[in-house]
Structure 1
Amino acid sequence: MILICVNELSGPTGYHKSVVETANALHRGGYPLAVLSFLGAGDGAELAMPRWPLDPGVPAYALQTLPAEGGRLLAANVHPVLAGRVYATPYAFTADQLAALCQLNEELTAEDTVIFTTPVQALAFHRALAGQERRPRTLLQVHGDYRHHDELWALVDEAREVIDRVQTVAEGLNEQFASRFDAADVVCIPNIHHPAQVVRKPRTGVEIVLPASFQHRKNQLEAIRALSRLEDDSVHLTLWGNISPLNPYFIAVNELIDSLGLRDRVSIPGFGTEQDVYSSADIVLMTSLSEGFGYPLLEAAYHRLPTVTYDYEFGPRDAVEDGASGFIVPVGDVDALVARLDELVADAQLRERFGRRAREIFDERFSAEAVVAKYGAVLGPPPGRSLDLSAVFATDGEEPVPASAISHRVTRSGLRRTHQVTVRSAADLHDVQVDDGERIGRPAVRRVGGTTVIEFPVGSRGVVSFSTIPGGTDRHYLAGPANGGTLPVLPRLRRDADYGDGTPPVADTLLASRGGAKHVSWRTTPSDLAEFGAQGVDAVTWKLRQLMPSLPTLRGAKPSGDATPPADGAPERTAQETAEPTSAPDPSAPDGSADAPAAPSAPADSSGGSAGALGGLGKAVGLPAQAMGSVGRVARTYASTAASMLVQAVAVTEPAPTHREIPRHPWFPVSGGVDSFGAPINSGGGVQVTNAGTEKRPTVRIQGEYDWLELRDGASRRRITPPWSYGEMFERFCAAEREHGLFDITTADGVHLWELGRSALVIQLAEAAGLWGPLAAAQGTVQDVYTGSKRLTTAPSADTVVFDYVRRGQSGYRTAPFVDDRTLFVVQPGADGYPDVNETNMVYPFAEFTQWKKDWRQRWSHLRVPEVDARPFEAALTQALGIRIDLGDHLRNRLAKFLAEREFFTPVFERVQPEEVLIASSHWWAGIGAAAARSGARVSDIQYALTSHYAPSFWFGQKPHYGATRFYAWSDFWAERTNVYDEHVVVPRQQPELTAAIEASSTEEKRWDVCVISQPRVLRRILTFVQELVAERPELRVVIAPHPAQREIIGQELAASGLEESVDIAEEDTLTTITRSVMAVGTFSTSLWESAALGCPTYVIEVPGFEETLQDVESGLFRLATSPHDLVPYEVPASRHDIFG
């Protein structure tokens, strides 16, 4: 067996990618293996999910939670017995964790190999064995330059006896270990790159990309200077990497861009996937001063891109043939860098020739097969033995005191506060102790009937434990560690830990989206202010630790047996996550890549003090002026944004999309998985999964579209499915509205809450359950800027006011019939602002309302919107849907929106005095409707989309109070499919191209056999059907008509599904594409009814939401496509003429 040790799995650097790719490749090569992560606060779950997909066949474990010796040391798994720091990386290990390493040593044999990826892991293993015989073979991977880093050598020297061999990732690193290891025991095996599929994007000019974290060693400054000397303005540079706005080096990068006037030629988009980075790249640039082995060299080679790189140590000469696959330039020679870039920029054929050779080099030296073969020479053939670590670390699963029997409160006597733990259990608790990591105390214990009461002072981080017999050494955890006045019961420290454990227990839950303005009150705001201040102090100390590696209190590779680690739950910033501002690289942050398109990580907060105060501190401790200059810039930047950060802290709830949370095992965080479409979790466009919750209530957060999802943790492979179909959910939803009278529940001020967020909630719950994916904004970037003189508050009188649909540029025909001289139109902004508004027409922009909401008085009013009691609604839905529903602040946000709309538009309507107000999709603008009704106007709705018994905005369990009473429908066909309105009026759509196509009988030969009509929320399911279609019916010519929201990404999605060669992408609009196709297939899209109206045989794919088409499937207008072989032409019935009148 192979056990790969890693500091943490979730980091963003090439080191982390290397660990994951090595594990995947060895697993596919037949080696049984597991991954063990060592660092991270608390239960380690936050750092256990890798940024690159880990094969579900590879189990991963967190050392922090493995219960050694059957769980007998779990009560000692809080306070460290070994702690220290290597440069910016802290480490801390408890007695339980060291015992777990000992237990691993006993289970492994000489056939097994432990791979240490940093010397910290070797040190922990060495200290854990404490002289005991080591059984497995060991290998230390070296991902960076150790030459000038005494702290790293100190670790290697102390742990030398547990290190058999050294594996470097670049040939030039081998010589550093010659004095400590025999030459035969030092080998070079390069990093493994498992390439992603990249779809090239059309572009103009030449694109240079530099993927790297922002730090001095990556040297983006010289890349920017080189660009400034390239005279061709069409040459563009993109700097990919994590953005931390208060990072001193990032500040310097932006200062240089501005000083050279390059803002139009340099982009800094932040994190980028392989698709993002290389889809439009022409040249890959590496200006690093040093690397372990830069992953971009491999990625560029695989994608046939030439590289221009400094001749840094180490890696370029291993991966690049100078003058054949790229150019290698002396470090710091900007003149040579400019010349080589200029040469490649000017010659597309040279770029192509270099790219071909780069790919040949990759295939020869760096393919997974080639690298695994090198591992085979070191590890030997795959052993037949595998070890299940979850079985090795099994407990008896029993605790004498159930968690539900433990309660806690804080009592006061004068100024003294006391923890009082009450245990309602018949179990006898002997030798009760409180261990705070420095001393073991004896609390006051008294027995009252069947209850034990334990008391001890508030103040320390004490952990309460007991034994079941007097003088027993087998101790059981009870509660802790204490943190101020809190004393949690942590499931991970109990021997009976299982899925769902927590206080309160964790249940499968669907959560509405979070975010928006907080309620500001004396109850909440002071604590938020205190938290903001604490974060500021933490940011200052974090930055000082980066800039003061020489200070005695911040040094210390030498481990301490009694050092105090960061408090549980506090963020640990590893060296991989920080930007080292000094010139020397920090190899405790293995620098295996210039951050192979890296993911975001470290917090952006920094100094809260003034630059002058920091300067005084710097002089007092002897800090170099250069370092203080960096801190000073951070301080000024922090000060310039402090007000907005303060507002964020006290007045804004951190946004979170709608999602599902399921129980997580307290010992085994999720580390990988795959969805029903065959995609790894957390891959681009796929299902996003994170280890969430807290140590007290461990959960797994899921967001995305799936039929099923398999999640891998150290104990099991769980399959997760949606709890019901969309049709079942919607019917239960409406039943709950009727049975519980949800539409009739009001706030204290008489506002009917439910209808304000009901339609949105249907959609959110479908998303949270995995039925639908998130919806991209179809209108793209909106420019809500208006500089003209028109104001809604000064609008003239009008008989009718029409509020147009949001995406007017794509659907103006929906409201076109209502345009006349006595109608005031209110339009939403588009990508080009308000082009329909001029000084002479009756079209008014929505902009005044948008700006009014931004006024400080309205912001304050928003903050004062009272909290909403969502419990009646949550209880009704939980009962109806059979799964816990958490509405969070969804209803309060909708209430705030409603109140703002009603307040602003009431005087507008009183001035305009309309007889009727028409709102396209009125249920999304309840406040406007309420304001219109206040002014005495009739409120009407304009049809903007299909209606059905399953449409969230057109079918309800009860009648809304603020909704429209009249419905302007396209035809009776649609009006009969809603239960909301008192009356309807038929107003046919003014869409001449559709009318002409319906009336014309085209004899033109069809270009395609099947037109696939896309739908954003279920795109992955649609593409799964298309995969079956092209595989089973290869004779059919297939085209996909993308939804406007998918136009930019559809090529990438087809490529990811392997369909780019077999499916055309429609260049014309959907309607035109249908007219040129024999048949159409899709799901709940208005375009399906347009297709049927055209007489085109139309099929429905059974995806969530297809229930909206069932009425027309039953009538014969549509047919179901359960298989690609169902697709045969048929004569569409005459009822098609009723669709649009």
Structure 2
Amino acid sequence: MILIFVDELAGPTGYHKSVVETANALTGRGYPVAVLSLLGQGDGSALAMPRWPLDPEVPVLPLQSLPADGGRLLASNVHPVLEGRVYSTRYAITENQLAAIRQLSDGLDASDTIIFTTALQALIFHRALAGRPRTVRTVLQAHGDYRHHDQLVALVAEARASIDIVQTVAEELREQFIPQFAPEHVVCVPNIHRAVDVPRTPHDGVRIVLPASFQHRKNQLDAVRALARIEDPSVHLMLWGNISPLNPYFIALQEEIEHLGLEDRVQIPGFGTEQDVYGTADIVLMTSLSEGFGYPLLEAAHHRLPTVAYDFDFGPRDVIEDGESGYIVPLGDVDQLARRLAALVGDDELRRRLGERARAIFDERFSADAVVDRYAAVLGPADAREVDLAELFATDGHEAVEAGAVSLRTRGWGPRKVHQLLVRSDAPLHDIRIDDGTRRAEPAVERSPGRTMIEFPATGSDVVSYASEPGSADRHYLVGPVTGDRAPLLPRLRRDATYGDGAPPVEDDAIFAARGGAGHVSWRTTPRALMSFGAQATEAVIWKSGQVTTMLAARRAAASTAPTAPAEASAPTEAPAQADAHVQTTTPGQEAAPAPTDAPAQTDATSPAPAPTAGGSEAQGLQRRLRLPLDASRVAMRVGRTYARTAATMAMNAVAVKESMPTRREIPRHPWYPVSSGVDSFGAPINTTGGVRVANSGTQERPTVTIQGEYDWLLLRDGASQRRVEPPWSYGELFEAFCAAERDYGLFDITTDDGVHVWELGRSALVIQLAEAAGLWGPSVNAGGTVADISPVRKRIVDAPRARTVVFDYVRRGQTGYRTAPFVRDDSLFVVQPSADGYPDVTESNMVYPFGEFTAWRNGWHRRWDHLRVPEVDARPFEEALSRTLGIHVDLGDHLRNRLAKFLAEREFFTPVFERVRPEEVLIASSHWWAGIGAAAARSGARVSDIQYALTSRYAPSFWFGGRLHYGASRFYAWSDFWAERTNAYAEHVVVPREQPELRALMEAPADRERSWDVCVISQPRVLRRILAFVKDLVRERPELRVVIAPHPAQREIIGQELAAAGLADAVAVAEQDTLTTVASSVLAVGTFSTSMWEAAALGVPSYVIEVPGHEETLQDVASGLFRIARSPHDLVPFDVPESRRDIFG
């Protein structure tokens, strides 16, 4: 067994990637591997999910929640007995956690290995054993420079007896541990990079990428200055890394970019995946002052990209052959850095040649196989035994007091304030004790049949426990820590902890509609939000100043012991946590957030930070008043000024904006074992680009797992088991349940206090949201792409002349679109949506008006203030109806209130418009999405009509309902009777055939016309992953077929990347023409609930339906023979399309 200790598994740095890649590679070679996460608050779940895919065979156990000694010490698993700080990393270890480490050591033997990935872990292990014998072998990985960090050297010295071997990630680091360790016990094994090819994305110009966290040691300032020396405007610099707007170094970097006028040439996108960073990269740049062994060196080499790097310690000379696979530049020489970059920028062949040599070096020295071979020399053969660590920490699963048997009340005031715990149980509670971490005491206890009253002063944060027998050391957790008026019950501290535990218990399943949007301003909510914002702002400034002060102290200690050296060889000014290239601290109120790293304390020749041009005397004054170092005072002043500049915006957001949370599903989580990895039905690891997002969520009192994305099933791994998760029902079952709930509970007739029938305002969107939450559909891609909401002329709807008909065009089409073309008349007024080109149809003289006027009005501060005062909507009747009908808990979030606000805004704006224009009829393409406009038109006496914009069916959210609508259209302009018969939303319909000459021409084209493709796959948003899964089977099992994919307009920009991710980039073609033309040039069509499927049938092209969620919309036509089902690629054979195809479009 290989047990890898890690400070925390979550994090964006190379340290975190190294742990994951090492575990994966060793597992792939056959070693049994597990990971133990040591640091972090609470139950450790927030830090247990890595950003890189972890092999599901690798269990992850958080030390914070392991039940040591059969659970007998769980009551001692709240307050620490060993705590301290190593630079910016704080550790706090409880008695239970120390016992758990001892239990691990006892459970492993000489054939097993523990790998410490930081020196702090070795110290904690050493302190836990406290001289006890061990047989397990130990290895300390050194991920960074120890020379100038006294604390790290001291950690290794104290823990020396618990470290057998030191493993450095760079050869030059070995000398730092000799002669403290014998030379044969100090080995170099570099970091492992999992070789995953990323598809190249075409782009203009040359892109230089620098992936690194924003801190002085990474030295992005020199990268920006080098770019400024390259005059070619087509050369861009991409700075990838986690963004913290209050990070002083990030602020200094932004100031330098603006000072050099490079805002258009430097992009800072944030944290990126390997695909994001290297998919468009041409050159990789590393300007670090020091590294343990920078991962970008390996990643660039694997992706055949030349690297230009400073000659820092450590790594460049291990990986780069200067002039052959990249360039090594003297530290701080920005001019030479710029020259090397310019040479690569101007020579495509040079970039290719250096990149090929870089890949050859990677394959020879740094491939996973090569590195694991070096590990094998340290770890021995891969036939070691496997230890079931969950079984090692098994408990008897028994608790005498039920979880819901304890209640709290607080009596008295001030020093006489006391807590009274009432325990309703017949179980005998012996030796009851309270423990607040500083003192243990016996409370007052009053016993009576079936109940026990426990009373103690309300002065601390007390954990209450009891013994099952008098005088027994076998203690049971009862409740706590008790603070204020709360007595939380933490399931992780009970021996009977299992999936679903919580207060209240976690239901088997729950789905959530989207949350977020404008907040509700009231005397009840606003003062609380402002107080919270003020506390967070103050705490953040204090925390940052404290972190900087600690860092500066470390720098001075390093400087006092370091030999004199030239500036370009100076030691890193950033003190890493435990000798490693990562710094991970806990931000106040936000666990698992990497701490923003600080700006340099002083400028130097290597990477001078811009000297403050103002505020120097202020900083000196702050220094004298607070007795802080001058550099720390300057940093604190800079952060304070940043807060001052943004305080108004931040305060407004705190009051007026609710935190955004997308649709999601929540399932129970084991209180001891958070989810750490998984794979979906498409073979993709969780939390990878385009895949399913999974997170440990909930609270310590009610632990859950959140799931978002499209899947048929998920396999989720935690420390104890692997669980398979599937959608709770099909789309058809979901939609039928919606309609049943609407009928049985009268949802369309429920109104707000102001009489608004709120259900229908968001019903259609809600069907889609809950289908997303359940895993049936993926998130929607913006159908319109990027739009320019700018009109070429100043025209106002509120000044529009009288018109007989007002037509609101479909969001993706202009006035000339076939959907609304039949209604273009002299007495018609059109309101059109913006496109990427703005409003090309709007001119001074025509009757076409931009919708942007309403958007601008709605975004005005008067209207936004009105939005904030929109009352909350009582969603409970709707949630109860859906929960009962669907058999799963449904939470509608802020959906109904946001839809109510939208409705009120539309009605308020357009009511005076219609009173001025006085139309007889208002036509809306997709009326159910614009209920407020329909209500305003009805107020003015106009008829409201709907224009068909897509297919209708009894499973279409916008065309089939379980009740009577109040704001919908009364007339439906349908393409033919074929469609009108498939909706129950209208009192009447009028057939208006499509004005689409190209469709008519193709319908009459000869059947024996030449076909360019054997199969046209018609793509569809939300189910693209399922469609591509079918395509993968198709090209594998029917390689003789010519396959083309016709992307939905919303997917045109991303389809290449999606095909590459699915391994289909070279297997299928992407249609260059529109879908209609492509289908007409194909022998067969394959798709699902796209309108293009009916167009294909109308053309006489045999069309097959893939059974993805939502295919129920096609079943009526499958039954009639218009379509056929394709469950396998071998089902695809030509057939005669019935003559009923001519009825589709009249």
Matches within 5 A, 1:595-614: 601-602=593-594
What amino acid is the match of 1:588? A
Tell me what 1:111 maps to.
111
**Equivalent of residue 859 in structure 1, options 832, 857, 864:** 864
Aligned-partner Cα distance in 2 for 1:790–1:231: 43
Tell me what 1:951 maps to.
956
Matches within 5 A, 1:122-521: 122-413=122-413, 417-507=417-507, 508-521=509-522
Given that 1:87 and 1:556 are in contact with CA atoms closer than 8 Å, whether structure 2 keeps it comes out as: no
Tell me what 1:59 maps to.
59
Given that 2:1019 and 2:1046 are in contact with CA atoms closer than 8 Å, whether structure 1 keeps it comes out as: yes
Deviations, residues 447-498 of structure 1 (Å, cap 9, x unaligned): 3442222233334211111222333322111111133332211101111111
Matches within 5 A, 1:685-724: 685-724=690-729
Q: Does 1:738 align with 2:743?
A: yes
Q: Does 1:938 align with 2:917?
A: no
Given that 2:113 and 2:138 are in contact with CA atoms closer than 8 Å, whether structure 1 keeps it comes out as: yes
What amino acid is the match of 2:772? E
Deviations, residues 484-526 of structure 1 (Å, cap 9, x unaligned): 3322111011111110011111111000111011222232223
Tell me what 1:919 maps to.
924
DSSP-derived class of the 2:5 partner: strand
Aligned-partner Cα distance in 2 for 1:523–1:812: 49
Q: 1:914 to 1:612 in 2, by over 3 A?
A: farther
Given that 1:219 and 1:289 are in contact with CA atoms closer than 8 Å, whether structure 2 keeps it comes out as: yes
Tell me what 1:664 maps to.
669
Aligned-partner Cα distance in 2 for 1:240–1:440: 50
Aligned-partner Cα distance in 2 for 1:838–1:810: 12
Given that 1:535 and 1:605 are in contact with CA atoms closer than 8 Å, whether structure 2 keeps it comes out as: no
Given that 2:214 and 2:597 are in contact with CA atoms closer than 8 Å, whether structure 1 keeps it comes out as: no
Matches within 5 A, 1:25-104: 25-104=25-104
Q: 1:1059 to 1:473 in 2, by over 3 A?
A: same
Q: Residue 842 of structure 1: CA displacement?
A: 1.1
Aligned-partner Cα distance in 1 for 2:1014–2:537: 62
Aligned-partner Cα distance in 1 for 2:524–2:749: 29
Given that 2:815 and 2:832 are in contact with CA atoms closer than 8 Å, whether structure 1 keeps it comes out as: no
What do you get for the CA RMSD once the two structures are aligned? 2.2
**Equivalent of residue 586 in structure 1, options 566, 569, 575:** 575
Q: 1:443 to 1:649 in 2, by over 3 A?
A: farther
**Equivalent of residue 991 in structure 2, options 974, 982, 986:** 986
Matches within 5 A, 1:894-905: 894-905=899-910
What amino acid is the match of 1:46? A
What amino acid is the match of 2:573? A
Deviations, residues 620-675 of structure 1 (Å, cap 9, x unaligned): 45544344333322221211111111122122111011000000000000000000
The answer for unaligned runs of 5 or more in structure 1 is 558-580
The answer for unaligned runs of 5 or more in structure 2 is 559-569, 585-590, 600-614
Deviations, residues 784-808 of structure 1 (Å, cap 9, x unaligned): 2347422222222211111111112
Q: 1:619 to 1:219 in 2, by over 3 A?
A: same
Matches within 5 A, 1:604-1003: 616-786=621-791, 788-808=793-813, 812-1001=817-1006, 1003=1008
What amino acid is the match of 1:286? M
Tell me what 2:1139 maps to.
1134
Aligned-partner Cα distance in 1 for 2:271–2:294: 17
Q: 1:613 to 1:231 in 2, by over 3 A?
A: closer
**Equivalent of residue 1061 in structure 1, options 1048, 1055, 1066:** 1066
Aligned-partner Cα distance in 1 for 2:554–2:240: 34
Q: Which moved more, 1:520-529 or 1:691-700?
A: 520-529
Given that 1:1011 and 1:1074 are in contact with CA atoms closer than 8 Å, whether structure 2 keeps it comes out as: yes
Aligned-partner Cα distance in 2 for 1:465–1:554: 45
Aligned-partner Cα distance in 2 for 1:839–1:797: 16
Tell me what 1:526 maps to.
527
Q: Residue 830 of structure 1: CA displacement?
A: 2.0
Deviations, residues 944-989 of structure 1 (Å, cap 9, x unaligned): 1110010001000111111111111111111110001000111122
Q: Residue 998 of structure 1: CA displacement?
A: 1.4
Aligned-partner Cα distance in 1 for 2:1135–2:551: 80
Q: 1:594 to 1:431 in 2, by over 3 A?
A: closer
Q: Does 1:1011 align with 2:1016?
A: yes
DSSP-derived class of the 1:808 partner: coil
Q: Residue 408 of structure 1: CA displacement?
A: 2.4
What amino acid is the match of 1:678? G
Given that 2:577 and 2:583 are in contact with CA atoms closer than 8 Å, whether structure 1 keeps it comes out as: no
Aligned residues: 1113
Q: 1:650 to 1:459 in 2, by over 3 A?
A: farther
What amino acid is the match of 1:546? Q
Q: Residue 299 of structure 1: CA displacement?
A: 0.6
Q: Which moved more, 1:14-23 or 1:1015-1024?
A: 1015-1024
Q: Residue 590 of structure 1: CA displacement?
A: 6.1
Given that 2:147 and 2:176 are in contact with CA atoms closer than 8 Å, whether structure 1 keeps it comes out as: yes
DSSP-derived class of the 1:690 partner: strand
DSSP-derived class of the 2:667 partner: strand
What amino acid is the match of 2:510? T
Q: 1:459 to 1:940 in 2, by over 3 A?
A: farther
Aligned-partner Cα distance in 2 for 1:925–1:412: 56
Aligned-partner Cα distance in 2 for 1:617–1:158: 39
Q: 1:258 to 1:211 in 2, by over 3 A?
A: same
Given that 1:444 and 1:454 are in contact with CA atoms closer than 8 Å, whether structure 2 keeps it comes out as: yes
Given that 1:965 and 1:982 are in contact with CA atoms closer than 8 Å, whether structure 2 keeps it comes out as: yes
What amino acid is the match of 2:803? A
Which structure is higher in RCO with an 8 Å CA cutoff and minimum separation 6? 1
DSSP-derived class of the 1:733 partner: helix
Given that 2:9 and 2:50 are in contact with CA atoms closer than 8 Å, whether structure 1 keeps it comes out as: yes
What amino acid is the match of 1:75? A
Given that 2:947 and 2:972 are in contact with CA atoms closer than 8 Å, whether structure 1 keeps it comes out as: yes
Structure 2 length-normalised TM: 0.95
Aligned-partner Cα distance in 1 for 2:571–2:41: 27
Given that 1:611 and 1:636 are in contact with CA atoms closer than 8 Å, whether structure 2 keeps it comes out as: no
Given that 2:519 and 2:868 are in contact with CA atoms closer than 8 Å, whether structure 1 keeps it comes out as: yes
Q: Residue 11 of structure 1: CA displacement?
A: 0.8
Given that 1:197 and 1:1055 are in contact with CA atoms closer than 8 Å, whether structure 2 keeps it comes out as: no
Tell me what 1:1051 maps to.
1056
Q: 1:725 to 1:272 in 2, by over 3 A?
A: same
Q: Residue 554 of structure 1: CA displacement?
A: 13
Q: Residue 532 of structure 1: CA displacement?
A: 1.4
Given that 2:974 and 2:989 are in contact with CA atoms closer than 8 Å, whether structure 1 keeps it comes out as: yes
Given that 1:298 and 1:366 are in contact with CA atoms closer than 8 Å, whether structure 2 keeps it comes out as: yes
Aligned-partner Cα distance in 1 for 2:583–2:793: 48
Aligned-partner Cα distance in 2 for 1:600–1:262: 33
Q: Residue 542 of structure 1: CA displacement?
A: 2.1
What amino acid is the match of 1:704? G
Aligned-partner Cα distance in 1 for 2:372–2:759: 59
Q: Does 1:548 align with 2:553?
A: no
Given that 1:1011 and 1:1041 are in contact with CA atoms closer than 8 Å, whether structure 2 keeps it comes out as: yes
Percent sequence identity over aligned pairs: 70
Aligned-partner Cα distance in 2 for 1:511–1:814: 34
What amino acid is the match of 1:1077? S
Given that 1:1011 and 1:1079 are in contact with CA atoms closer than 8 Å, whether structure 2 keeps it comes out as: yes
Q: Residue 813 of structure 1: CA displacement?
A: 1.8
Aligned-partner Cα distance in 2 for 1:554–1:669: 37
DSSP-derived class of the 1:814 partner: coil
Tell me what 2:588 maps to.
none
